[in-house]
């Protein structure tokens, strides 16, 4: 099972379907109307070049499909989501082709105009769904014949673990239960099915090619639960756990499969696929535009930093990002070289390690602008929890073990936590900021992101960055 290959296969088939649809549609329109289809389309397709339109239409369709979130989690698509997504996106594409791009029929009655739009929609929906359903049927067949499977590991050996194991083996054809991991609890299943303890988790996951882990504790010990989840994040696998009363009451426990008990997916975002796709698209476009527009401004401060004190213009520091993976965050240097040696130290507004120009950069958060590059690379997003260093994460986890929940999304340039708390110069403030970020996770949406960006701009212009 290769997720990247499946992703590319869907794109290839969608583009092929769009190409066939456009050829058939051009033939239809010429036959019915005998008019120049691209009469008002001279900007994108000069000289009414039909060969160019054959290229543009598939790209346009694929772009809409991408924004709809169809290409996210392709391996987990259901027949219902396949039909729904294809129906909605083909309606949107057909509408935009006729009313936004103004494919003109000035000499033809509205009857033919709308009839042509319905023909385009019918062709696009039927052919696209036919191709997609072919891939979906292959996926379903591969799972049914066990050519593909989701190797699953259960963390826990109690009665609840045995119950979920029986449900998986009897009803979930996509999963193959490889075994159990002991938590020094009472073991109620055959000893030969226990693959080892949590101390051996890395080798167990690698040896059995695990793609999903389900944490099942007989006693709902929050500290133990999040300690286990923290240790699993770095392996880039789906992590689920059996819901406690809190998850049931707050709606975190989802019924994704009717044949097994509800589970909480700790690695999936609360954002819908279409919102997540648009969010990433906006991240890239906004970052590229910002770097271009701010380039004279950036060059000015690069010169100021170089003249202000000895040392490099940029400062790179390891932070922990999505899935608990480290990355190098990029900032303008605001401190003297050698300001931090040994144990990391938090900074404050009156920190004497900050350079004169560094105080200005921090006040208006100009030092964060280079992180647009981190956003383009995919390390970060415009909006998301601020990434921390491993040293401080370990200290936070001692008091707030649920910090690992932040690993499910990309860290951000700004978020609700920094807006409410500002610079965190103590562990207590970091934990307070974490609690705001957890609330953001539960309320993620494009509207929420937009509001946070507006508040951030206000803070920058008022010079409240520190």
- The Cα 423–Cα 83 span in angstroms is 47
Going by pLDDT thresholds of 50, 70 and 90, the confidence category of residue 290 is very high
Q: What is the mean pLDDT of the chain?
A: 84
CA distance 342 to 347: 15
Residue 148 CA: distances (Å) to CA of 1, 108, 141, 144, 257: 6, 53, 9, 8, 18
**Cβ neighbours, 10 Å, residue 78:** 11
Crossing angle, helix 356-363 and helix 295-308, to 10 degrees? 150
3-state DSSP assignment of residue 219: coil
Residue 162 has pLDDT above 50, yes or no: yes
Asked if residue 42 has pLDDT above 60, the reply is: no
Partners of 212 in the beta sheet? 152, 238
Tell me if 301 sits within 8 A of 357, measured CB to CB.
yes
In angstroms, rounded to a whole number, what is the distance separating the alpha carbons of residues 324 and 234?
5
Lowest mean pLDDT of 27-31, 84-88, 200-204, 440-444, name the range. Answer: 27-31
- The residues, ordered by sequence, that sit 6+ positions from 460 with a Cβ below 8 Å of its Cβ are 364, 365
What is the token pair recorded at 44?
A: 């994108």
**CA atoms of 175 and 171, how far apart (whole Å):** 9
At 144, is the secondary structure helix, strand, or coil? helix
% of residues, the chain, pLDDT over 90: 39
pLDDT higher than threshold 60 for residue 266? yes
pLDDT tens-digit map of 364-392: 888 999 999 999 999 999 999 999 999 99
For residues 28 and 118, give the distance between their C-alpha atoms in angstroms, rounded to a whole number: 12
Query: Which is more confidently placed, 405 or 446?
Result: 446
Q: End-to-end distance of the chain based on CA atoms, in angstroms? A: 48
- What's the whole-number mean pLDDT along residues 241-254? 56
Q: What is the pLDDT of residue 280?
A: 96
Report all structural domains of the chain as residue ranges with CATH numbers, in order of start: 3-144 (no CATH), 150-265 (3.40.50.720), 273-461 (no CATH)
Region 54-60 average pLDDT = 89
For residue 89, how many other CB atoms are within 10 A of its CB?
23
What was the pLDDT predicted at 189? 75
> Tens digits of per-residue pLDDT, 294-351?
999 999 999 999 988 888 999 999 999 998 899 999 999 998 888 777 777 777 667 7
Tell me the chain's radius of gyration from C-alpha atoms: 27
449 and 279 Cβ atoms separated by less than 8 Å? yes
pLDDT at 2 over 90: no
Can you give the pLDDT at residue 328?
95
Q: What is the model's pLDDT at position 132?
A: 96
Q: What are the Cα distances from residue 462, in Å, to 184, 364, 381, 466?
A: 55, 8, 23, 11
pLDDT at 292: 95
pTM, to two decimals: 0.84
Q: What's the CA gap between 63 and 66, in Å, rounded?
A: 5
Beta strands in 208-280 (DSSP E): 212-215, 238-241, 264-265
Centroid of chain to Cα 113: 40
Higher-pLDDT residue of 30 and 236 is 236
180 with 169: CB under 8 angstroms?
A: no
């Amino acid at each position: 099972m290769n997720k990247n290959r499946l992703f590319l296969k869907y794109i290839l088939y969608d583009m092929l379907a769009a190409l066939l649809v456009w050829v058939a549609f051009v033939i239809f329109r010429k036959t019915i109307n005998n008019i120049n289809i691209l009469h008002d389309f001279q900007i994108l397709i000069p000289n009414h070049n039909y060969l160019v339109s054959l290229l543009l239409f598939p790209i346009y369709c694929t772009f809409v499909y991408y924004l709809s979130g169809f290409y996210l989690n392709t391996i987990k698509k259901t027949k219902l989501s396949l039909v729904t997504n294809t129906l909605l996106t083909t309606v949107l594409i057909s509408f935009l082709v006729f009313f936004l791009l103004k494919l003109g029929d000035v000499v033809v009655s509205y009857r033919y105009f709308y009839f042509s739009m319905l023909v385009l929609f019918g062709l696009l929906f039927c052919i696209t769904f036919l191709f997609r359903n072919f891939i979906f049927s292959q996926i379903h067949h591969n799972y049914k014949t066990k050519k593909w499977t989701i190797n699953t590991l259960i963390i826990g050996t109690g009665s609840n673990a045995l119950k979920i194991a029986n449900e998986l083996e009897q009803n979930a054809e996509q999963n193959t239960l490889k075994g159990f991991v002991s938590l020094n609890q009472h073991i109620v299943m055959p000893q030969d099915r226990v693959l080892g303890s949590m101390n051996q988790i890395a080798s167990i996951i690698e040896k059995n090619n695990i793609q999903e882990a389900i944490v099942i504790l007989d006693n709902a010990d929050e500290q133990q639960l999040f300690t286990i989840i923290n240790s699993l994040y770095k392996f880039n696998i789906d992590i689920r756990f059996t819901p406690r009363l809190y998850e049931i009451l707050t709606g975190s426990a989802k019924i994704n499969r009717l044949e097994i008990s509800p589970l909480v997916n700790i690695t999936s975002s609360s954002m819908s696929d279409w919102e997540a796709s648009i969010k990433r698209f906006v991240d890239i476009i906004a970052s590229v535009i910002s770097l271009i527009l701010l380039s004279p401004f950036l060059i000015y401060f690069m010169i100021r930093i170089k003249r202000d004190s000895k040392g490099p213009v940029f400062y790179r520091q390891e932070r922990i990002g999505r899935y608990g993976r480290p990355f190098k965050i990029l900032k303008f240097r605001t401190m003297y070289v050698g300001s931090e040696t040994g144990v990391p130290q938090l900074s404050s507004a009156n920190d004497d390690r900050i350079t004169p120009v560094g105080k200005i950069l921090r006040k208006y958060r100009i030092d964060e602008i280079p992180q647009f590059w981190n956003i383009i690379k995919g390390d970060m997003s415009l909006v998301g929890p601020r990434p921390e260093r491993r040293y401080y994460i370990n200290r936070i986890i001692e008091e707030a073990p649920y910090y690992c929940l932040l690993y499910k999304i990309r860290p951000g340039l700004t978020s609700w936590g920094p807006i409410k708390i500002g610079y965190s110069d103590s562990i207590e403030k970091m934990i307070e900021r974490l609690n705001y970020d957890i609330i953001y996770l539960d309320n993620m949406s494009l509207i929420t992101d937009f509001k946070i960006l507006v508040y951030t701009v206000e803070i920058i212009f008022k010079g409240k960055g520190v």
